[in-house]
Structure 1
Amino acid sequence: MKKERKAPIFITKLSKLVKRIPPNHFKKQEFQDLLRNHSSGFKGEQSLEYFYRYLPKDILYLHGLRILDGEYFFQMDTLLITPSFITILEIKYMAGHLYFEDQFFQFIRTYAEKEEAFPNPIDQVSRQKIHLSRVLEQHKMNILPIETLVVMTHPAAIIEAASGYQEANEKVIKSSSLQQKYETLLQKYPNEVITQKQVKKLARLLLKLSSSYDPDICELFQVNKNELSKGVFCPTCPHSIMNYTWGKWHCSTCNTSSKTAHIEALQDYALLISNHISNYEFAWYLNLQSSNQAYHLLRSLNLPSTGTNRSRLYNLTPLLEKTT
């Protein structure tokens, strides 16, 4: 049983921001790097799906939980819940030589002749265990032992740990070792502590406590929303802006035409600017020649609205259900 893994809304918003930030913006490269890092992490989580098929069918998987403990949120990549134990997976998708050293408990990557230090994922997942234990105790459901694993999912990763770093040797694995490690844990915890029904009850609790990280991304990164590029991007050559004539959007660069290209532009607006839009804002944002064009395009979308005449606001939220 699995909670469906979807791309986090933060990644979706960040990708929209990268698309709408002008090429010469001084933060463009920063946002591109951030998007690449977050997308890489999500790709690593997705790649692990292949290896879940070799685990027992009755395991319950929860992905991307973000739960409040006291004043702060903690987040877990994946949680495996069984009647015998819980396992928190911290998933990393990193190529290169990955070295865990135990004198300063550092995680060091050497890649393309460059050496970098990163937060130690063993420590990260250990802190997640502390937070999860506290939350379960608060809800009187701290009856299952909690294990932690760091899973390196990049096929080109070379993993090494200092000879005396026992915790790294025990807790850091590659994707292909997940089944073997699970069987080891099953031997460690052979007895069922709760029933399958209680497993589902625990999962419902955690899902109820979880909330997505969904910030106003322009505010978060101090981007003026007026700086964002306006218009309908061509679906064929994405850097070109389309013009609306004779009931269709046309690209003068590649001659692509579309009746619905404005929907994605409105999704961008909803994710970056506001999930409500007026007729005037619609015309301004899509570079339309007249408010009459805006009115007919908006009406054709059958969006819920509030207000009347010039004060009417259209709710763009239904369009986000079409976001992939």
Structure 2
Amino acid sequence: MLMKNHEVPLALLKLAAHKRRLPQNHPKYQKIVNDWALYNSGYRGELALDYYLHRFNRSENFLLHSLRLQHKQNFQIDTVILHPNFILLIEVKNLSGKVNFDHGFGLMTRETSGQVQSFQDPIIQAENQAFHLQNWLNDFGVSGIPVESLVVFVNNHVHLTRSDEQNVDPRIIHANKLADTYNELHHKYPQNFLSNQTLHSIGQQMIQENKPLQVDLFHKYQLTPKAIQPGVICPACDFSSMKRNHGYWQCESCGHSSKSTHIDALKDFYLLFNDQITNREARWLFQIDSRKVARNLLAKQTLIGKNKGASYQLAFDTERDFAYLLSTKEKDQAGYSLVP
């Protein structure tokens, strides 16, 4: 039973908005592109996991994705399976290339196109998640049920290796082994520890306590609002200065026209700055001079206040309204796989 679906990471959406509104010659542009690629690859990997989970979808499982809980400190879980006999945490990795593990030094390296990157051993991360979850469960009044962790690589273009004679930890698997590993756990733990009612209550509590990560990218990357480029961006060619012409937006580069492209600009503003916008800010964003035109373009937004102090409430849903920022048409400039 699916209790909680995947969440689009807010940090991913904010990075995408910054990436498309910063000049490419800005000193922080490439760093933002690299971080966007990492977040995007991770999100795509979590979605790809669903294909393998469906192979052993059983009625006794309660499945939750994209959790960020707190027990003394925040801890994040990509996917958790609540089973009457055990709880399984899944940390998803969507890396391509040659991935090497050195458990003795707690390191993982990834080599692709002649470039080598170093990461923390994902087993350390998985064990930390299990530790925090066990403590969280104790506070909920649940103890004794086994908590297992897996690190699952979903990309078909990854080669997992080891750096010494020590075997790769068996909790690190490729996604095509997930169903077999799940069945092994089912045989390893034949005893029921928790009822379906208790499992459902645990899942509901997880959903209630879930707190998605909030991030201030201006502070993180030491950016100023002046770095952001205004304008209505053409969805056809990405030209950043469409002109308002007789009720339409017209792209001076490719000729594409639209009545509603400014809505995406408002969504960018929502992610970049604030959930409220003034007429003056809208004129800057749309690069127009007329207060009346700006007011008409904002007519579908809720007006707050009157006269010069008035603003408009922007109400967008991060799960539904930002598909234009989740396109994979771009080449991954950081070397991460965008589509498994």
Determine if the TM-score, normalized by the shorter chain, exceeds 0.5.
Answer: yes
Shift in Å at residue 163 of structure 1? 6.5
The residue aligned with 1:106 is 107
TM-score (norm 1): 0.94
Conserved in 2, the CA contact under 8 Å of 1:267 and 1:319? no
State the match for 1:297 in structure 2. Answer: 297
Residue 71 of structure 2 corresponds to 69
Once superposed, what is the RMSD of the aligned Cα atoms?
1.6
Q: TM-score, normalised by structure 2?
A: 0.90
AA matched with 1:157: V
How far 1:208 moved relative to its partner? 1.1
CA distance in structure 2 between the partners assigned to 1:312 and 1:89 by the alignment: 47
Give the match's secondary structure for 1:289. coil
Q: Is 55-64 or 10-19 further displaced after alignment?
A: 55-64
Counterpart of 2:239, as a letter, is H
1:178-214 deviations in Å (ceiling 9; x for gaps): 0000010001111221121211111011111111112
Cα distance in structure 2, aligned partners of 1:110 and 1:240: 36
1:263–1:319 CA contact under 8 A, matched in 2: no
Q: Could you tell me how far 1:116 is from its partner in structure 2?
A: 2.8
Other-structure match for 2:321: 322
Out of 304, 307, 316, the residue aligned to residue 306 of structure 1 is: 304
Q: Deviations over 1:241-261 (max 9, x none)?
A: 101121111111111111100
State the alpha-carbon separation in 2 of the partners of residues 62 and 25 from structure 1. 39
Contact 2:80 2:89 in 1 (8 A): yes
Q: Tell me the CA shift for residue 162 of structure 1.
A: 5.6
Answer whether contact 1:161 1:169 (CA < 8 A) is retained. Answer: no
Gaps of 5+ in 1: none
Contact 1:102/1:164 (<8 A) preserved: no
Q: Give the SS at the match of 1:305.
A: strand
| 1:1-324 alignment, distance < 5 Å | 1-2=1-2, 3-58=4-59, 59-70=61-72, 72-161=73-162, 165=166, 168-299=168-299, 301=300, 303-318=301-316, 322-324=321-323
Q: Deviations over 1:61-116 (max 9, x none)?
A: 2111111221x211111111111111111111111222222332321223223333
Amino acid at match of 2:237: C
Distance apart, 1:134 and its partner CA: 1.1
Q: Which runs of 5+ in 2 are unaligned?
A: 324-340
- The percent of aligned pairs where both chains have the same amino acid is 28
Mapped to 2, the partners of 1:280 and 1:232 lie a distance apart of: 15
- Partner of 2:91: helix, strand, or coil? strand
The letter for the 1-side match of 2:187 is: Q
Q: Deviations over 1:196-244 (max 9, x none)?
A: 1211111011111111112232233221112101010011111331011
Q: Is the 8 A contact 2:66 2:79 kept in 1?
A: yes
1:256-276 Cα deviation digits (max 9, x unpaired) = 111100000000001101110
Deviations 1:299-319 (A, max 9, x none): 2x1x22221121111101247
- Taking structure 1 as reference, are residues 165 and 90 closer, same or farther at Cα in structure 2, changes over 3 Å only? farther
Q: Could you say if the C-alpha distance between residues 115 and 23 of structure 1 is closer, same or farther in structure 2, counting changes exceeding 3 Å?
A: closer
Give SS of 1:48's match.
Answer: helix
CA distance in 2, matches of 1:164, 1:202: 41
Cα displacement string for residues 32-59 of structure 1 (whole angstroms, at most 9, x for unaligned residues) = 1111111111111111111111113222
For these two proteins, the number of residue pairs brought into alignment is: 320
Identify if the C-alpha distance between structure 1 residues 309 and 29 changes in structure 2 by more than 3 Å, giving closer, same or farther.
same
Q: Distance in 1 between matches of 2:37 and 2:191?
A: 43
